[in-house]
Structure 1
Amino acid sequence: MRPAAPRPTIKTLSEMTGYSIATVSKALANSPVVTEATRAAIFAAAEQVGYQASLRGRSLRTGKSYQIAVLMPLSVAKSHEWNGVEHAEILAGIAEGLEGTPYRIAVHLVRDTEDSLATVRSIVEGHQADGLIFSGILADDPRVALLLERGFPFVTLGRSRNAPPHAFVDIDSGWAAQAATSRLIDGGHRRIALVNPEPSLAYSLDRIAGYSRALAEAGLPVDPALIADGDLTARHGKAAALALRALPDPATGFVCVNESTALGVLSGLHETGVIIGRDASVIAYDDINASAYFFPPLTTFLYPLETLSRVLAQFMLRLLEGEAPAALTHFVRPELIIRQDDCLHP
């Protein structure tokens, strides 16, 4: 029986890469004094020989947990629709962004804003993680305020409207809502509905602002009855469509918060005998591009959520290396994919 190969050590990596044991040790500890090129070479060698450092030992030496906490709404985890797809892509993107580093994701399920704030406080005070990533940002977000006060590293998917500068990745929801509404106006629609998330969310207010700008530019009034607030489900989309078509002057154009609600809107319109492309037009907004397979296929504002989530991870690593949060902002506009003329054909 052949003896087992000796377990690779830091000395092994030093001999393989030509770097000193001190440099290898610093690279494995993710020290900011090691260049990215050096760190990459050392991690590549470690992966090649199957080197596994003792995370517990490293934590004792550095005082770090090597955990990046990610908050996920419990309602998503329990959803019976496809709400969880978005959060699965967020987690996948963050995990990819952390590859080659000693950091790992720790998912924390939260029920609501109060529970989320308590979880954030517990993570910070209990030193359960070295940084925090979360989405679902409120216009006045108490989590952002707490983390800024404590000086704890965090990156958000979305921006808090009223907070001091902080690290974030965000999509220009206001521009997308304005562009979608303007497209429907150009197609002859005058009764345009906004199927929107809860107004406590920062991007919900951005979407209302963009929608309102488009109407104002066309000389059309904003009718509050045409703004349908709710969750991000197909169920909400269908209920909104049924209510909006039941108005004395029903909606003919629909700007949807995501493809899930757009699917529900299609179902509601079909139930009321409305023909898409003749009596009504629907524009979707999402990251998985499922609307290409809806019948009929829908015009969509598409954004690559998994790619953006990798940026979340990169920003977190840069924060942990000491970079200023205000310098770590990434703001993008989604891509318009046209599949309908989106015109009203009475």
Structure 2
Amino acid sequence: MPVTIKDVAKVAGVSPSTVSRVISNHPRISPKTAAKVKRIMIEMGYHPNMVAKSLVSKKSNTLGVILPRPAEELFLNLFFSEFIRGIVTQATRQGYDLLMSSGTTESEEMEAITRFVKGRRVDGVILLSSKKNDPTVKFLREQNFPFILIGRSDEHADVLSVDNDNVQAAYDVTKYLISLGHERIGFVSGPPQLVVSQDRLEGYKKALKESNLPMKSHWIVEGEFLQESGYRAMSMIMNLADRPTALIITDDLVAYGVVRGITELGYQVPDDISLFSFNNISISELTTPPLSSVDIGIYQMGYTASQALLRNIQEDQHDQRRIVIPHRLIIRQSCAKMNSQERS
């Protein structure tokens, strides 16, 4: 006969309801009791029937993750892989699985969100990007459904979110390049509809204005978070008569395309142009030259997002707030002082 919750409870010397709470990772069960019950479950070969459990508890023990682009495109960028690793680590510790979905259009994203919520397929949702006038945020708020936003909502200050201070981070990078003597600084941005793109561009402009330095529209290029975007940007920027002597790039993957484009045009980094990027993914220090980049704590952001959402779900907390992860400037060899570069 299959082992039941009552069998486990009898051996563990606890009530069946306590075993159920251990299975649900209830926060009020002491670590000692939870460890004991889990050990006995393993020894007795007990496996919870999660489908039956979800019917009773009306919980799926699953988190939904909405990917901002098609998966085959998204996972070309190690940023998202590291982010998902952080989410999975915390979710697994709490006994939760992940259900991921993506869409190529806004309507497809809304369809995925609707399936998650209306079908009760997940207990909460993690949105991996924040957009201006985001309909998914509006929908989840209307449904009073637990969710967390990666980034900053430009409309709702009370939304539970995990983010960096992207205005300050871009400001810090720009001021660092200015301290090296650069006066013509360009910016390779992400998609303009994303709040992170707006914030980083704002920080860049703020630093230039404070230092009374020029900010020219043709020094700013918008694109996707793809290597090809950076590659294409260089054919325009490096052919300008007044081209920048330094570039800030909003994503490391884009920066790899920038380096490739610069090299193919016969220029060198940092002798001809300095580069400073964002995200500090693992291979940034392995590029030639090693890439200066802003460490935004990718894994920590994913881990914290999962942790905060699960606390909201399990403890029914509604004190929505914005969690800010500190950033660090990682200085490597892709930036040089102006006195070691030719002024043109």
1:283 paired to 2:300: no
Question: CA deviation digits over 1:35-76, x for unaligned, max 9?
Answer: 56654554455456553100111011112222211112443x
- RMSD of aligned residue pairs (Cα, Å): 2.3
> Secondary structure at 1:254's aligned position in 2?
strand
1:120 aligns with 2:88: no
Q: Per-residue displacement from partner, 1:61-99 (whole Å, max 9, x unpaired)?
A: 112222211112443x2239822x332223222221112
The residue aligned with 1:294 is 287
Aligned residue in 1 for 2:56? 61
1:263 partnered with 2:234: no
**2:301·2:325 contact (CA, 8 Å) conserved in 1?**
no
Q: Structure 1 residue 31: deviation in Å?
A: 4.3
Matched, 1:215 2:216: no
Say whether 1:139 aligns with 2:126. no
How far apart, in 2, do the equivalents of 1:204 and 1:312 lie? Answer: 20
Q: Confirm or deny that 1:316 pairs with 2:309.
A: yes
Which deviates more, 179-188 or 304-313?
304-313
Q: Which residue of 1 aligns with 2:85?
A: 92
CA distance in 1, matches of 2:148, 2:112: 16
The letter of the residue matching 1:317 is L
2:220 matched to which residue of 1? 227
Q: Percent identity?
A: 28
- Residues 66 and 273 of structure 1: CA distance in aligned 2, closer, same or farther (over 3 Å): same
Q: 1:169, 1:311 within 8 Å by CA — same for their partners in 2?
A: yes
**How has the CA–CA distance of structure 1 residues 264 and 119 changed in structure 2, closer, same or farther, with 3 Å as cutoff?**
same
**For the Cα contact (< 8 Å) 2:158–2:322, is it kept in 1?**
no
Q: In 2, distance between residues paired with 1:48 and 1:192? A: 63
| Contact kept in structure 2, 1:73 and 1:112, CA below 8 Å | no
Residues 48 and 72 from structure 1, CA distance in 2 versus in 1: closer, same or farther, beyond 3 angstroms? farther
Matched, 1:342 2:342: no
Q: How many residues align?
A: 339
Query: Which residue does 1:51 correspond to in 2?
Result: 46
Distance 1:325 1:141, change over 3 A: farther
Secondary structure, counterpart of 1:64 in structure 2: coil
Change (3 A) 1:62 1:118: same
Which residue identity does 2:136 align to in structure 1? Answer: R
Q: Secondary structure at the match of 2:73?
A: coil
TM-score (norm 1): 0.89
Equivalent residues of 2:75, 2:81 under 8 A apart: no
SS class of match (1:69):
strand
Which position in structure 2 is the counterpart of 1:166?
159
**Paired AA for residue 336 in structure 2:** D
- The one-letter amino acid paired with 1:94 is I
- 3-state SS of the aligned residue for 1:156? strand
Question: Does 1:27 find its partner at 2:22?
Answer: yes
AA at the equivalent of 1:118: E
Cα gap change, 1:38 to 1:147, in 2 (>3 Å)? farther
- 2:235 is matched with which residue? 242
Tell me, in whole angstroms, the C-alpha distance in 1 between the residues paired with 2:219 and 2:325: 27
> Which stretches in structure 2 are left out of the alignment for 5+ residues?
none
Q: Is the 8 A contact 1:145 1:163 kept in 2?
A: no
- Structure 2 distance, partners of 1:47, 1:240, is 56
How much has 1:264 moved relative to structure 2? 1.0
Could you tell me which residue of structure 1 aligns to residue 76 of structure 2? 82
What does the per-residue CA deviation read over 1:242-269, in whole Å, with 9 as the maximum and x for residues that have no partner?
Answer: 2111222111111111111111111121
Amino acid at match of 1:141: D
Shift of 1:34: 3.8
> Within 5 Å, which residues of 2 pair with 1:128-207?
128-207=121-200
When residues 121 and 337 of structure 1 are mapped into structure 2, their CA distance, relative to the original with a 3 A threshold, is same
The 2-side partners of 1:48 and 1:221 are apart by 70
Q: Which amino acid aligns with 2:61?
A: Y
Unmatched runs of 5 consecutive residues or more in structure 1: 1-5
Check the 8 A contact 1:278/1:343 in 2, yes or no.
Answer: no
**Could you list the per-position Cα deviations for residues 131-159 of structure 1 after superposition, in whole angstroms to 9, with x for gaps in the alignment?**
11121210321111111111000012112
Alignment-derived partner of residue 110 in structure 1: 103
Q: Distance in 2 between matches of 1:318 and 1:7?
A: 33
Letter in 1 for 2:60: S
The structure-2 alpha-carbon separation of the partners of 1:50 and 1:165, relative to structure 1 and needing over 3 Å to count, comes to: farther
TM-score by length of 2: 0.90
Indicate how the Cα distance of structure 1 residues 327 and 47 shifts in structure 2: closer, same or farther if over 3 A, else same: farther
**Counterpart-to-counterpart distance in 1, 2:267 and 2:282:** 23
| Contact persistence 2:154–2:195 (CA under 8 A) | yes
